[in-house]
Amino acid sequence: MSSRVHAGEDAVEVAAPAGVVYGLLADAVRWPVFLPSLVHVEWLDFDGTQERLLVWEVAAQAGAPGGHVRSRHIRRVLRPHERSVVFEEEEQARPGLVTSGVWTVRPAGEDRCVLGLRQERVLPLLTAAGDSRVRDEDTGGVRRRLGEVRAAAERWEELDELLLSFEDRIRVEGPAELVYDFLYRVEDWEERLPHVEGARVREDSPGVQVVLVDTCAPEGGASLTTGAVRLCFPHAGRIVYKETLLPPLLAAHSGEWSLLPDAVGVTVVAAHRVMLRPDAVARELGAGTSLLEARRQVHGRLSRADRQALGLAKWHAESTVRRLR
């Protein structure tokens, strides 16, 4: 079958040092916090220079609230001395259709640089109209990726204040399978968790959930609806997620439920990575509220929700075991 190479290339100036921008490109595991469309990055292999990643991403799709979730394998070669990253990626749903390319970072002063991206895809020969559409998609995709990386990198001076990582954990004297079942069945949370008023779940493929949850707002405010994509790995005892519809205070939120079983029970861990939205602090918490106070309140709210879910998961598993004895 005849084919054609479709290429896209562009560059943008970034108000951040070249080393910061390259570090953001190289640290793929943290991409879900910085890049809006990415849900989760799984590190499969790394030898110091070459790595293999499995990446899940949300693509907008008409008629599908929350978008369509797709995954792809990425092979990368990191070249820190050149500040470049060579990559080759293949979507799992379309094996054989490979996108390859390179990211480059060139200094343009002490606190500025030029970020470039070139990528190309080999596709079957299309009609003239189809060829033009794919070329427009490639160009738009390159510009979107460049814009996302630039927006994240240009916050470099305040990231220490905006980023928040923490975890809560609980010990359960019961089987991991019962705890996992509680966490997996989001559609039942309305009846099980006091702060959840409603939950809708779409699972187009096994283990990939698109979720909308209505929760009670603190201090008697209006109810809040949040959305998330959840990736469920029952054999590994893990559920990772990325919020796609966020509370006003958050610019990004990703997390993971993980189960650590032993001979007599399981430790359940709820982990969070959060980035605050600084322009919303005064509006949501009052004029004069510091980022430190905003961090404290966000941590507190998420931890309270964790403790409710973890406590009820513990009760569900342990009470079921008692009834079976």
CA distances from 180 to 26, 51, 267, 322 (A): 33, 30, 11, 18
Looking at residue 62, its pLDDT comes to 44
Looking at residue 124, its pLDDT comes to 57
| Residues 6 or more apart in contact with residue 251 via CB below 8 angstroms | 162, 275, 276, 277
Looking at residue 128, its pLDDT comes to 41
| Residues 6 or more apart in contact with residue 72 via CB below 8 angstroms | 54, 55, 57, 89, 90, 91, 92
Please provide the distance, in angstroms rounded to a whole number, between the alpha carbons at the two ends of the chain.
64
Q: How far apart are CA 178 and CA 211, in angstroms?
A: 21
Over the chain (325 residues), the average pLDDT of each successive run of 10 is 72 97 96 94 94 90 64 96 96 80 96 96 55 53 92 93 96 94 94 91 93 79 87 97 95 97 93 96 94 96 94 90 56
φ/ψ of residue 265, rounded to 5: 175, -150
φ/ψ of residue 290, rounded to 5: -85, 160
- Residue 63, beta-bridge partner list: none
Q: Where are the alpha helices (DSSP H) in the chain?
A: 18-26, 31-34, 128-153, 159-162, 176-184, 189-192, 281-285, 291-324
DSSP 174: S
Exposure of 194 in the CB half-sphere (CA atoms within 13 A):
7
Looking at residue 217, its pLDDT comes to 66
The whole-model pTM stands at: 0.88
Angle at 273 between CA 220 and CA 268, to 5 degrees: 85
| Residues 6 or more apart in contact with residue 126 via CB below 8 angstroms | 4, 134
